[in-house]
């Protein structure tokens, strides 16, 4: 471990945004993760976002083969991975070309000059070398021949082939960035020791290169000084860095343990939801049964079967998969079984933009089934709260005997942030509606008078043998019924059951202002961007701008109307063409909902939000 400084005391910064970019094979994800983990352990608040190509092994040096990892660290609250990059580390010309737009003039770029060969410049479609012409004159460019320096530092290490030598140049870059931001190399060294336990030469090589990068930055004249970001004020506790999809999977693990039910996942791989399947298959030790089915439909159907048999049943997918699961979801609603469907939204329609984020499945989640088919719809808003909303989705499904759609999106599912670890003991109780013995006059559609949840009689329970199915059922006996009045009654009671969930969810609480000139409304994964923009604009003196972020969409919190009446203007911001705004307009006739929509496969940027809000209050 090295921490010694020989230059001046580091300059203190509030927050910094760093982006590491390079070829798919350059190890940028690892480099970024190491930097963010080290910073989190140092006490900073962080948010990260990976950006990698959908091609698994894109041609080397190509523009579409660029892989990136952005990390935002701060001594202040950090709620997004950020938009304007303070430091860009570009391992090749393609990385520089595709990411330069994110760097504000005046900010710093570190490049590996060894990779700016004629061939690589051509692949990146540069007519002239940007390091030699004046195209980068507005930036502070630090040119380092990283590949050669890496090779140099590994002279004499036994048992390394040329490929592994070149591949460790990312650690040279990481070492430099550690020095620049006053970080210790300790955590990464420990990581090498664990990860490559059986390969001492790899440990030796990576550690050497990391330290070489650190020392090089220390002595390099081009880097005049380093910066430091003090620990953030975070509530005390034990933390870990968690990705949204992992947090979702863990929320279900916690709900299964708390409820005493076995967890069953029926799923089919689809970007960007597959990591939930990857995570849950690991946990056979908790009795998790994860079934990779032959398609999306079989995925949800196996979950419905498991739910019928008494498990906490989950199915995971993304937009196109939700379309395929629609009919089966209607069945689960009709037979009133608990089921959680996670839709990690991506750009649509059709195959759309599989690796990009969007919020355009909201109306599909609400209405995408035949017949009158209401289900609970809730949404997570940050990587860490995916844990809470997955838990909440399971709790609502089990307690109210209904399917629940949990909406997340590619942005929060792949993003990571600190999570103050929650023990299962501090999570709320989950009561189920199981019946274990026969009572006189028992019927499968007997309902809890408060929630209207029907009782859950599990196969294997003597005396409660019964049949359910997609045909309309008699309100009392549960037998097939075509009686007109009964159908209307059952349709309404299924709707009322979902509506009554309002009595079990929290009220919506606006942030920054209870009343005022403008209410900014968001839902789901845009929380971070909207929160930081409204916070900033308030800090600039616009004190009458409130922010209300919805996690419960169907039903909406009880006090929604009351909240809306307290602001002069309302703007609904979403990454679609105005879907939540349509839902709100449907509920609250006479209230004008202005829209701010973005449909570019990208999250909201801070600048565009602030500009919009200012325009609305002027």
Please identify which residue in 479, 539, 577, 600 interacts with another protein, judged by CB under 8 A.
Answer: 479
- Closest distance to another protein from the beta carbon of 29 (Å): 16
User: How many residues of this chain bind another protein (CB under 8 A)?
Assistant: 71
317 Rama class: left (phi>0) / alpha (psi -120 to 50) / beta: beta
Residue placing its CB nearer to another protein in the complex, 289 or 558 = 289
> Could you say which residues in the range 277-296 bind another protein, by CB under 8 A?
283-287, 289, 291, 293-295
Please identify which residue in 74, 299, 348, 605 interacts with another protein, judged by CB under 8 A.
Answer: 299
Q: Which stretch binds another protein (CB under 8 A): 199-207, 227-235, 486-494, 504-512?
A: 227-235
Residue placing its CB nearer to another protein in the complex, 291 or 445 = 291
Residue placing its CB nearer to another protein in the complex, 254 or 406 = 254
| Contact between residue 282 and residue 250 where contact means Cβ atoms under 8 Å apart | no
The token pair at 615 is 């325009």
CA distance 338 to 210: 51
460 Rama class: left (phi>0) / alpha (psi -120 to 50) / beta: left
Please identify which residue in 104, 119, 195, 467 interacts with another protein, judged by CB under 8 A.
Answer: 467
CA distance 80 to 614: 21
Is 403 an interacting residue with respect to another protein (CB under 8 A)? no
Per-residue contact flags (x/-) with another protein for residues 229 to 268, judged by CB under 8 A:
--x--xxxxxxxx--------x--xx--x----x-x-x--
Helix axes 200-219, 186-195, angle to 10 degrees: 160
Please identify which residue in 15, 18, 40, 571 interacts with another protein, judged by CB under 8 A.
Answer: 40
- Closest distance to another protein from the beta carbon of 503 (Å): 29
Provide DSSP, 137-153. TTSEEEEE-HHHHHHHH
Q: Which stretch binds another protein (CB under 8 A): 15-23, 106-114, 460-468, 565-573?
A: 460-468
Residue placing its CB nearer to another protein in the complex, 50 or 510 = 50
Question: Judging by beta carbons within 10 Å of its beta carbon (0-12, 13-18, 19+), is residue 236 exposed, middle or buried?
Answer: exposed
Instruction: State how beta strands 403-409 and 339-345 pair.
Output: parallel
Please identify which residue in 105, 449, 460, 586 interacts with another protein, judged by CB under 8 A.
Answer: 460
Per-residue contact flags (x/-) with another protein for residues 518 to 557, judged by CB under 8 A:
----------------------------------------
| Contact between residue 355 and residue 272 where contact means Cβ atoms under 8 Å apart | yes
In DSSP terms, 567 is beta-bridged to 516
Is 469 an interacting residue with respect to another protein (CB under 8 A)? yes
| Contact between residue 203 and residue 194 where contact means Cβ atoms under 8 Å apart | no
Residue placing its CB nearer to another protein in the complex, 105 or 460 = 460
Give the other-Cβ count within 10 Å of 186's Cβ: 14
Task: Give how far Cα 526 sits from Cα of 352, 366, 569, Å.
Answer: 20, 19, 20
Helix axes 296-308, 319-334, angle to 10 degrees: 30
- Closest distance to another protein from the beta carbon of 486 (Å): 16
The token pair at 380 is 């997570």
Is 141 an interacting residue with respect to another protein (CB under 8 A)? no
Helix (H/G/I), strand (E/B), else coil: 131:
coil
> Could you say which residues in the range 43-62 bind another protein, by CB under 8 A?
43
Please identify which residue in 2, 13, 41, 63 interacts with another protein, judged by CB under 8 A.
Answer: 41
| Contact between residue 506 and residue 551 where contact means Cβ atoms under 8 Å apart | no
> Could you say which residues in the range 335-374 bind another protein, by CB under 8 A?
335
- Closest distance to another protein from the beta carbon of 122 (Å): 41
Is 224 an interacting residue with respect to another protein (CB under 8 A)? no
């Amino acid at each position: 471990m090295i921490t010694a400084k020989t230059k001046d005391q580091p300059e203190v910064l509030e927050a910094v945004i760093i982006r590491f970019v390079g070829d798919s094979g350059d190890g940028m994800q690892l480099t970024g993760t190491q930097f963010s983990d080290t910073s989190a352990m140092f006490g900073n608040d962080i948010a990260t976002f990976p950006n990698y190509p959908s091609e698994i092994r894109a041609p080397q040096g190509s523009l579409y083969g660029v892989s990136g990892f952005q990390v935002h660290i701060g001594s202040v609250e950090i709620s997004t991975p950020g938009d304007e990059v303070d430091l860009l580390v570009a391992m090749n010309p393609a990385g520089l070309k595709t990411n330069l737009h994110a760097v504000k003039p005046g900010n710093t770029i570190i490049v590996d000059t060894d990779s700016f060969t004629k061939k690589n410049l051509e692949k990146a479609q540069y007519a002239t070398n940007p390091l030699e012409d004046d195209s980068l004159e507005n930036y502070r460019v630090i040119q380092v021949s990283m590949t050669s320096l890496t090779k140099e530092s590994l002279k004499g290490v036994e048992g390394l082939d040329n490929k592994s030598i070149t591949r460790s140049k990312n650690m040279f870059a990481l070492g430099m960035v550690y020095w620049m931001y006053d970080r210790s190399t300790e955590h990464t060294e420990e990581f090498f020791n664990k990860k490559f336990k059986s390969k001492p030469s790899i440990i030796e090589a990576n550690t050497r290169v990391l330290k070489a990068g650190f020392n090089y930055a220390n002595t390099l004249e081009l880097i005049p000084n380093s910066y430091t970001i003090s620990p953030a004020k975070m509530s005390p506790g034990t933390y870990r860095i968690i990705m949204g999809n992992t947090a979702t999977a863990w929320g279900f693990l916690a709900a299964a343990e708390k409820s005493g039910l076995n967890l069953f996942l029926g799923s089919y791989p689809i970007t960007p939801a597959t990591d939930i399947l990857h995570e849950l298959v690991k946990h056979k030790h908790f009795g998790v049964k994860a079934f990779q089915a032959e398609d999306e439909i079989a995925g949800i159907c196996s979950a419905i079967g498991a739910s019928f048999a008494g498990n906490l049943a989950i199915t995971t997918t993304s937009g196109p998969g939700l379309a395929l699961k629609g009919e089966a979801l209607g069945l689960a609603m009709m037979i009133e079984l608990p089921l959680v469907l996670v839709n990690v939204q991506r750009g649509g329609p059709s195959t759309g933009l599989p690796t990009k984020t969007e919020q355009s499945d909201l109306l599909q989640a609400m209405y995408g089934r035949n017949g009158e088919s209401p289900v609970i719809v809730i949404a997570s808003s940050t990587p860490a709260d995916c844990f809470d909303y997955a838990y909440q989705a399971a709790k609502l499904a089990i307690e109210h005997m209904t399917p629940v759609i949990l909406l997340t999106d590619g942005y929060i599912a792949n993003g990571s942030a600190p999570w103050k670890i929650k023990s299962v003991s501090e999570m709320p109780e989950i009561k189920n509606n199981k019946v274990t013995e026969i009572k006189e006059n028992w019927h499968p559609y007997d309902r809890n008078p408060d929630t209207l949840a029907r009782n859950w009689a599990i196969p294997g329970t003597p005396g409660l043998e019964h049949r359910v199915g997609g045909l309309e059922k008699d309100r009392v006996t549960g037998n097939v019924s075509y009686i007109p009045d009964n159908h209307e009654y059952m349709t309404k009671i299924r709707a009322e059951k979902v509506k009554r969930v309002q009595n079990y969810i929290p009220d919506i609480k606006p942030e920054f202002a209870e009343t005022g000139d403008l209410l900014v409304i968001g839902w789901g994964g845009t929380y971070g961007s909207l929160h930081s923009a409204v916070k900033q604009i308030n800090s600039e003196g616009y004190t009458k701008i409130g922010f209300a972020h919805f996690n419960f969409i169907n039903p909406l919190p009880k006090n929604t109307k009351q909240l809306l009446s307290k602001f002069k203007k309302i703007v609904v911001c979403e990454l679609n063409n105005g879907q939540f705004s349509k839902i709100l307009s449907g509920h609250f006739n006479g209230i004008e909902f202005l829209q701010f929509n973005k449909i570019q496969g990208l999250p909201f940027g801070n600048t565009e939000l602030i500009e919009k809000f200012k325009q609305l209050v002027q």
